[in-house]
Amino acid sequence: MTRHSPSSSHLRGLSLIELLVALALSLFLIAGLVAMYMSTRRSYNIQQQSAALQRKERLTTTFVGSVVQSAGFYAAPQTYTPYTAFPVNSTFTTAAQVFYGTSASTNGNYADTLSIRFLTAPNDGVLNCLGHENSGASIQLYVNRFSLDTQNDELECILSGPGLVAQKQPLISGVTSLHFLYGVDTNGDGSADVYAPANAIATSQWNAVRSVEIILKFATRQAATGQAGTQGVPVTFRATFPVRTSPL
Protein backbone atom coordinates (compact mmCIF):
# COMPACT_ATOMS: atom_id res chain seq x y z
CA MET A 1 0.00 0.00 0.00
CA THR A 2 1.34 3.37 -0.99
CA ARG A 3 0.88 6.35 1.33
CA HIS A 4 0.66 9.87 -0.10
CA SER A 5 1.69 12.93 1.95
CA PRO A 6 -0.30 16.16 1.50
CA SER A 7 1.35 18.72 -0.66
CA SER A 8 3.05 21.52 1.27
CA SER A 9 1.19 24.06 -0.87
CA HIS A 10 -2.14 22.83 0.54
CA LEU A 11 -0.99 23.34 4.18
CA ARG A 12 0.34 26.91 3.77
CA GLY A 13 -1.33 29.56 6.09
CA LEU A 14 -1.71 33.31 5.65
CA SER A 15 1.40 35.25 4.98
CA LEU A 16 2.44 38.23 7.11
CA ILE A 17 1.47 40.62 4.32
CA GLU A 18 -1.99 39.12 4.07
CA LEU A 19 -2.47 39.43 7.84
CA LEU A 20 -1.42 43.08 7.75
CA VAL A 21 -3.80 43.80 4.89
CA ALA A 22 -6.69 42.11 6.73
CA LEU A 23 -5.85 44.02 9.91
CA ALA A 24 -5.74 47.34 8.04
CA LEU A 25 -9.12 46.67 6.45
CA SER A 26 -10.60 45.76 9.84
CA LEU A 27 -9.23 48.91 11.44
CA PHE A 28 -10.62 50.99 8.57
CA LEU A 29 -14.09 49.51 9.06
CA ILE A 30 -13.93 49.97 12.85
CA ALA A 31 -12.85 53.59 12.43
CA GLY A 32 -15.81 54.20 10.14
CA LEU A 33 -18.21 52.70 12.69
CA VAL A 34 -16.71 54.78 15.52
CA ALA A 35 -16.97 57.97 13.44
CA MET A 36 -20.60 57.16 12.63
CA TYR A 37 -21.35 56.53 16.31
CA MET A 38 -19.72 59.79 17.43
CA SER A 39 -21.56 61.77 14.76
CA THR A 40 -24.88 60.24 15.81
CA ARG A 41 -24.13 60.94 19.45
CA ARG A 42 -23.26 64.58 18.76
CA SER A 43 -26.47 65.03 16.75
CA TYR A 44 -28.51 63.47 19.54
CA ASN A 45 -26.90 65.71 22.19
CA ILE A 46 -27.50 68.81 20.08
CA GLN A 47 -31.16 67.85 19.58
CA GLN A 48 -31.57 67.23 23.32
CA GLN A 49 -29.99 70.57 24.19
CA SER A 50 -32.16 72.36 21.65
CA ALA A 51 -35.31 70.73 23.03
CA ALA A 52 -34.31 71.61 26.62
CA LEU A 53 -33.65 75.24 25.68
CA GLN A 54 -37.00 75.50 23.92
CA ARG A 55 -38.74 74.17 27.04
CA LYS A 56 -36.96 76.74 29.20
CA GLU A 57 -37.88 79.54 26.81
CA ARG A 58 -41.53 78.48 26.91
CA LEU A 59 -41.44 78.40 30.71
CA THR A 60 -39.91 81.88 30.76
CA THR A 61 -42.70 83.17 28.55
CA THR A 62 -45.31 81.49 30.74
CA PHE A 63 -44.05 82.53 34.17
CA VAL A 64 -42.60 85.96 33.50
CA GLY A 65 -44.87 87.01 30.64
CA SER A 66 -48.15 86.32 32.40
CA VAL A 67 -47.06 88.15 35.56
CA VAL A 68 -45.75 91.19 33.66
CA GLN A 69 -48.97 91.43 31.68
CA SER A 70 -50.98 91.35 34.92
CA ALA A 71 -49.03 94.22 36.48
CA GLY A 72 -51.33 96.96 37.71
CA PHE A 73 -54.46 94.79 37.69
CA TYR A 74 -56.77 95.41 40.62
CA ALA A 75 -60.07 93.81 41.51
CA ALA A 76 -63.18 95.67 42.69
CA PRO A 77 -62.67 98.94 40.79
CA GLN A 78 -65.81 100.25 42.43
CA THR A 79 -63.91 100.12 45.74
CA TYR A 80 -60.28 100.65 44.77
CA THR A 81 -58.34 103.13 42.67
CA PRO A 82 -54.74 102.60 41.51
CA TYR A 83 -53.60 104.81 44.39
CA THR A 84 -55.46 102.86 47.08
CA ALA A 85 -54.80 99.43 45.52
CA PHE A 86 -51.03 100.03 45.36
CA PRO A 87 -49.96 102.21 48.29
CA VAL A 88 -46.45 103.43 49.03
CA ASN A 89 -44.11 101.10 50.93
CA SER A 90 -40.38 100.58 51.35
CA THR A 91 -40.00 99.04 47.87
CA PHE A 92 -42.62 100.92 45.85
CA THR A 93 -41.95 104.52 46.79
CA THR A 94 -44.64 106.12 44.60
CA ALA A 95 -48.40 105.65 44.95
CA ALA A 96 -49.85 103.40 42.19
CA GLN A 97 -46.36 102.08 41.35
CA VAL A 98 -46.51 98.44 40.24
CA PHE A 99 -42.96 97.90 38.89
CA TYR A 100 -39.62 98.11 40.65
CA GLY A 101 -36.26 96.66 39.70
CA THR A 102 -32.58 96.60 40.58
CA SER A 103 -29.50 96.18 38.40
CA ALA A 104 -26.34 94.18 39.08
CA SER A 105 -23.65 92.86 36.75
CA THR A 106 -20.35 90.97 37.01
CA ASN A 107 -18.05 90.09 34.10
CA GLY A 108 -20.81 90.50 31.51
CA ASN A 109 -23.40 88.50 33.44
CA TYR A 110 -26.38 90.16 35.11
CA ALA A 111 -28.26 89.42 38.32
CA ASP A 112 -31.14 91.90 38.08
CA THR A 113 -34.38 91.74 40.03
CA LEU A 114 -37.93 92.62 39.01
CA SER A 115 -40.84 93.18 41.43
CA ILE A 116 -44.44 93.37 40.22
CA ARG A 117 -47.69 94.09 42.09
CA PHE A 118 -51.30 93.26 41.38
CA LEU A 119 -54.47 92.98 43.48
CA THR A 120 -56.64 89.90 42.96
CA ALA A 121 -60.06 88.73 44.03
CA PRO A 122 -60.77 85.13 45.11
CA ASN A 123 -60.68 82.70 42.18
CA ASP A 124 -60.46 85.43 39.54
CA GLY A 125 -57.98 83.45 37.43
CA VAL A 126 -55.06 85.88 37.76
CA LEU A 127 -51.96 83.76 38.36
CA ASN A 128 -48.99 84.80 40.47
CA CYS A 129 -45.39 83.83 39.73
CA LEU A 130 -45.82 80.48 41.49
CA GLY A 131 -48.60 79.61 39.07
CA HIS A 132 -51.39 79.91 41.66
CA GLU A 133 -54.47 82.10 41.85
CA ASN A 134 -56.03 83.71 44.90
CA SER A 135 -57.80 80.83 46.62
CA GLY A 136 -58.56 82.73 49.80
CA ALA A 137 -61.76 84.38 50.90
CA SER A 138 -60.77 88.02 50.37
CA ILE A 139 -58.91 90.34 48.03
CA GLN A 140 -55.15 89.82 48.15
CA LEU A 141 -52.23 92.01 47.07
CA TYR A 142 -49.40 89.97 45.52
CA VAL A 143 -45.79 91.09 45.12
CA ASN A 144 -43.96 88.88 42.62
CA ARG A 145 -40.16 89.23 42.70
CA PHE A 146 -38.03 87.58 40.02
CA SER A 147 -34.32 87.16 40.73
CA LEU A 148 -31.32 84.96 39.93
CA ASP A 149 -29.93 82.36 42.33
CA THR A 150 -26.27 82.73 41.34
CA GLN A 151 -25.18 79.75 43.44
CA ASN A 152 -27.44 77.27 41.65
CA ASP A 153 -27.91 79.14 38.33
CA GLU A 154 -31.69 79.27 38.68
CA LEU A 155 -34.33 81.85 37.86
CA GLU A 156 -36.44 82.03 40.98
CA CYS A 157 -39.55 83.80 42.24
CA ILE A 158 -40.36 85.10 45.70
CA LEU A 159 -44.07 85.68 46.33
CA SER A 160 -45.10 87.95 49.18
CA GLY A 161 -47.86 90.32 50.21
CA PRO A 162 -49.77 91.64 53.23
CA GLY A 163 -50.67 88.76 55.52
CA LEU A 164 -48.62 86.24 53.53
CA VAL A 165 -45.51 84.28 54.46
CA ALA A 166 -42.99 84.85 51.68
CA GLN A 167 -42.55 81.80 49.45
CA LYS A 168 -39.49 81.18 47.28
CA GLN A 169 -39.55 78.78 44.35
CA PRO A 170 -37.01 78.01 41.60
CA LEU A 171 -38.57 78.30 38.16
CA ILE A 172 -35.92 77.58 35.51
CA SER A 173 -32.52 75.94 35.86
CA GLY A 174 -29.31 76.58 33.93
CA VAL A 175 -29.70 80.39 33.93
CA THR A 176 -26.38 82.23 34.29
CA SER A 177 -27.52 85.81 33.59
CA LEU A 178 -30.80 87.68 34.22
CA HIS A 179 -31.26 91.16 32.78
CA PHE A 180 -34.36 93.37 32.54
CA LEU A 181 -34.95 96.43 30.37
CA TYR A 182 -38.00 98.62 30.92
CA GLY A 183 -39.96 100.29 28.16
CA VAL A 184 -40.83 103.76 29.41
CA ASP A 185 -43.45 106.09 27.94
CA THR A 186 -41.61 109.41 28.06
CA ASN A 187 -44.06 111.49 26.00
CA GLY A 188 -47.39 110.29 27.40
CA ASP A 189 -48.72 108.62 24.24
CA GLY A 190 -49.25 105.27 25.98
CA SER A 191 -46.42 103.44 24.19
CA ALA A 192 -42.87 102.67 25.26
CA ASP A 193 -40.33 104.76 23.40
CA VAL A 194 -37.19 104.26 25.53
CA TYR A 195 -35.80 101.03 26.97
CA ALA A 196 -33.49 101.31 29.96
CA PRO A 197 -32.17 99.18 32.85
CA ALA A 198 -33.46 99.72 36.36
CA ASN A 199 -30.53 101.84 37.48
CA ALA A 200 -31.26 104.34 34.69
CA ILE A 201 -34.94 104.86 35.56
CA ALA A 202 -35.90 107.79 37.78
CA THR A 203 -38.37 107.30 40.60
CA SER A 204 -41.03 109.26 38.72
CA GLN A 205 -40.67 107.04 35.62
CA TRP A 206 -41.70 103.72 37.19
CA ASN A 207 -45.36 104.59 36.71
CA ALA A 208 -44.66 105.13 33.01
CA VAL A 209 -43.37 101.59 32.33
CA ARG A 210 -45.40 100.11 29.49
CA SER A 211 -43.41 96.97 28.65
CA VAL A 212 -40.60 94.80 30.02
CA GLU A 213 -37.84 93.05 28.08
CA ILE A 214 -36.15 90.04 29.67
CA ILE A 215 -32.74 88.81 28.56
CA LEU A 216 -31.64 85.42 29.88
CA LYS A 217 -28.37 83.63 29.28
CA PHE A 218 -28.59 79.83 29.45
CA ALA A 219 -25.64 77.54 30.13
CA THR A 220 -25.13 74.75 27.58
CA ARG A 221 -23.09 71.56 27.48
CA GLN A 222 -20.44 70.65 24.96
CA ALA A 223 -22.21 68.78 22.15
CA ALA A 224 -19.29 66.37 21.77
CA THR A 225 -19.60 64.95 25.29
CA GLY A 226 -23.05 65.93 26.51
CA GLN A 227 -21.70 66.00 30.05
CA ALA A 228 -22.99 68.59 32.49
CA GLY A 229 -19.47 69.45 33.66
CA THR A 230 -18.25 70.61 30.26
CA GLN A 231 -19.62 74.03 29.38
CA GLY A 232 -20.38 75.08 25.85
CA VAL A 233 -21.25 78.48 24.39
CA PRO A 234 -24.00 80.29 26.40
CA VAL A 235 -27.31 80.84 24.61
CA THR A 236 -29.16 84.15 25.00
CA PHE A 237 -32.95 84.40 25.03
CA ARG A 238 -34.81 87.72 24.68
CA ALA A 239 -38.52 88.42 24.95
CA THR A 240 -40.59 91.58 25.34
CA PHE A 241 -43.88 91.61 27.23
CA PRO A 242 -46.34 94.52 26.96
CA VAL A 243 -48.24 95.64 30.05
CA ARG A 244 -51.95 95.00 29.57
CA THR A 245 -53.20 97.40 32.20
CA SER A 246 -51.88 100.85 33.03
CA PRO A 247 -52.10 101.91 36.68
CA LEU A 248 -52.66 105.55 35.70
Per-residue pLDDT tens over the stretch 47-106: 767 777 788 888 888 889 999 999 999 998 999 999 999 999 999 999 999 999 999 998
DSSP string, 70-99: TTT-BS-TTT--HHHHS---SS--STT--E
Nearest to 211 by CA among 124, 99, 87: 99
Say which residues have a Cβ less than 8 Å from residue 76's Cβ, sequence separation at least 6. Answer: 121, 139
36 in a structural domain: no
Q: What is the mean pLDDT of residues 204-227?
A: 81
DSSP secondary structure letter of residue 163: T
**What's the pLDDT score for residue 248?**
59
Instruction: Please report which confidence band the pLDDT of residue 36 belongs to, taking 50, 70 and 90 as the band edges.
Output: confident
**What's the pLDDT score for residue 2?**
58
**What's the pLDDT score for residue 21?**
80
**What's the pLDDT score for residue 33?**
81
CA distance 144 to 118: 9
CA distance 212 to 221: 29
Structural domain boundaries, residue 119: 44-242
37 in a structural domain: no
Q: What digits encode the pLDDT tens for the residues 161-213?
A: 999 999 999 999 989 999 999 999 999 888 899 999 999 999 999 999 999 99
**What's the pLDDT score for residue 224?**
47
**194 SS3 class:** strand
**What's the pLDDT score for residue 18?**
77
13 in a structural domain: no
**What's the pLDDT score for residue 41?**
72
Strands 154-160 and 175-184: unpaired
**What's the pLDDT score for residue 59?**
83
2 in a structural domain: no
Nearest to 31 by CA among 23, 19, 41, 20: 23
CA distance 126 to 118: 9
236 in a structural domain: yes
CA distance 180 to 71: 15
Number of independent structural domains in the chain: 1
Return the minimum-mean-pLDDT range out of 24-38, 89-103, 104-118.
Answer: 24-38
State the pTM of this model. 0.79
Instruction: Please report which confidence band the pLDDT of residue 108 belongs to, taking 50, 70 and 90 as the band edges.
Output: confident
Q: What is the mean pLDDT of residues 116-141?
A: 94
Strands 140-149 and 154-160: antiparallel
Portion of the chain with pLDDT greater than 90, in percent: 60
Which of 144 and 26 is assigned the larger pLDDT?
A: 144
184 in a structural domain: yes
